[in-house]
Amino acid sequence: MRILVLGGDGYLGWPTAMYLSARGHDVGVLDNGVRRQYDHELGSGSLVPIESLRARVKAFEEVTGDHIACYLGDLMDAECTYDTIGGFAPDAIVHFAEQRAAPYSMIDRKHAVYTQTNNIVGTLNVMYAIGEINRDIHLVKLGTMGEYGTPNIDIEEGWLEVTHNGRTDRVLYPKRPGSFYHLSKVHDSHNLEFGCRIWGLRVTDLNQGIVYGQQTEETELEPRLATRLDYDAVFGTVLNRFAIQAVLGLPLSVYGGGSQTRAVLDIRDTVECVRLACETPADRGEFRVFNQATESFSLQEMAKVVQNSYPGQVDIEYLDNPRVEIENHHYAFTHTALESLGLKPHLLSETLLHHMFDVIERHRDRVDHDLLAPTVNWRQSTRSRS
């Protein structure tokens, strides 16, 4: 297949592009480099040093002999979007190209507006390009389990059958997201489902849990092929933060009481899920939803896994929660679709023990301790910074 990866310079986009290429697909990547600009804005950066996108692509070709087509451009530019999709002529498009951090979207008005404009308009441009160029292109769109929030009923895979006043209908599962970022993903889902109904698009919406880990088969081939490992309080995931704190001998910082539950999966399972989705496309007119997560843990349980996996003393501390979220909530989700296609999940404890701690230890001198503390408060509504 010909597969175009949007956001191919990102934490997940780059290893996904290599993974798909290594398994025989013709791959192209598009990126505008803005993720690296966020680092400059926030004074943060990847714990693991990373090369530029062009250097990565060149290194991959040198190491494997496989070619990845590289495009520099922005989905907010409709002409660029049309030209790239029309020129590469993909069978499938994998869409990672969005601002992906909830805390970033909650900094102030400017960041909330940017997040929603960038994510929603960019996706609309992709939709229209597919609608006008080739409606057989299968769009694999990265969503998030955060779209659902924490409902008091089990979470189905995107759709819910409802009986009300004696009548039954199938509707999109109700969403109650917890940030302006997660809201942008909900708007994407609704727009894409609408596109399937009116234009006969084919879409797979991957509602992904928190991804942990930094190594795949391809990133381990050569240091120049490494993907990022974020640890700061804005872009770093909770598991990355816990693992780094353990290695540095710092207490693991749990927000609130720690009973908030999250869905998670290994980065190696992420790239495999994308491959499975691409190789078994949705039908024309189908809006298909896969819950792309394999395990769930409360924050306290995650901290305990890290504490029990690390071969040294690890303490846990509880901080005032900067987010607005429910504790002690019900959380159960269906995740059978991808496993029915052949996914064999990795387990959290195995990944932390055999991969993350070793990576962090090698680069521990690059950690800026000040970046680990939360700086964004959900309860504040602030004017944009100059």
The amino acid that residue 249 corresponds to is G
Q: Is the dihedral of CA 207, 211, 216, 218 positive or negative?
A: positive
**What number of other Cβ atoms are within 10 A of residue 189's Cβ?**
24
Query: What's the angle, vertex CA 143, arms to CA 129 and CA 105, rounded to 5?
Result: 95
Partner residues linked to 161 by β-bridges:
170
Question: CA-CA distance, 260 to 250, in Å (whole number)?
Answer: 22
| DSSP 3-state of 295 | strand
Catalytic residue numbers read 144, 181, 185
Nearest C-alpha neighbor of 147 from the set 119, 173, 165:
173
Helix (H) or strand (E) holding 309: helix 299-309
**What number of other Cβ atoms are within 10 A of residue 39's Cβ?**
15
Distances in Å between the Cα of 192 and the Cα atoms of 43, 173, 180, 199, 254 are 35, 14, 18, 10, 36
**What number of other Cβ atoms are within 10 A of residue 175's Cβ?**
17
Nearest C-alpha neighbor of 211 from the set 146, 150, 148, 263:
263
Nearest C-alpha neighbor of 38 from the set 126, 99, 86:
99
> What would you report as the CA-atom Rg of the chain, rounded to the nearest whole angstrom?
20
Helix (H) or strand (E) holding 265: strand 261-266
